[in-house]
A and B are shown apart, each in its own frame.
Chain A
Amino acid sequence: AQKITQTQPGMFVQEKEAVTLDCTYDTSDPSYGLFWYKQPSSGEMIFLIYQGSYDQQNATEGRYSLNFQKARKSANLVISASQLGDSAMYFCAMRPRPGAGSYQLTFGKGTKLSVIP
């Protein structure tokens, strides 16, 4: 079974500063995928970034980067130069290895990020 743990229920960050949202995971699969989704107050789920367990480099997408430490089973999201529009819930999620059935996601409980002007 796969498990995602997000230990920060809420975080505050000053506008234009960087912030790190923590995510640890547990799995016995040798191959898996890790995701971050953003959920603004309007409720939709917005895909941010993906990291494969065998990817050699940490994933980056614009202001988002994923600090992947496989030995520590952590996949922290780093948001650089925070903007007011970054205020939202952020979910870390995991998917089984490609070819292992259904690709369903297991989600953490989320972290609520508030950006302060």
Chain B
Amino acid sequence: NAGVTQTPKFRILKIGQSMTLQCAQDMNHNYMYWYRQDPGMGLKLIYYSVGAGITDKGEVPNGYNVSRSTTEDFPLRLELAAPSQTSVYFCASASADVNEQFFGPGTRLTVL
């Protein structure tokens, strides 16, 4: 069981570039999430999904897009990267019958 995996671990982008952060889980969880963590802060929800084909905005969705074509994968797309998107990004998954929310190892993104 790999749990929740994220790629890449680190990335440096130039302003205006685009990229996709990959997230996959092998626990057959319906619920998946993207959070961002700014320095010295807690995590804030960007987008979430309650199942394949269903996504919705969280607290800080501007500048991001997501898709959920399969139960396993939940990629996060950054269009026109800005310095304000410099952060650590965590993907997580959960199911209705388990209290724990499982987190990936995170992606550290720097936009210069």
Contact = CB atoms under 8 A, between A and B. Distances in A.
Interface of A: 4, 33, 35, 37, 43-45, 47, 50, 52, 91, 93, 95, 98-99, 101-110
A102 B50 contact: yes
Given A43-B105, A44-B105, A45-B103, A103 B94 contact: yes
Interface in B8-46: 31, 33, 35, 40-45
B31 A102 contact: yes
Nearest to A48: B100
A24 B43 CA distance: 17
B96 interface: yes
B contact patch SS: strand
A37 B100 CA distance: 10
A50 B99 contact: yes
B46 to A, nearest CB: 10
B90 A45 contact: yes
7 contacts: A35-B100, A45-B103, A47-B102, A50-B100, A91-B42, A102-B31, A105-B101
A33 B98 CA distance: 12
Contact of B43 (A47, A52, A91, A95): A91
A107 B94 CA distance: 16
Nearest to B59: A106
A35 B101 contact: yes
B33 A104 contact: yes
B45 A108 contact: no
- Which of B33, B48, B101 is most buried by chain A, counting CB atoms within 10 A of its CB? B101
A23 to B, nearest CB: 11
B105 A103 contact: no
Contacts of B56: 102
A45 B100 CA distance: 11
Nearest to B42: A107
B58 interface: yes
B45 A104 contact: yes
Interface string B41-69: 11111001010000010100000000000
Nearest to B58: A104
A44 B106 contact: yes
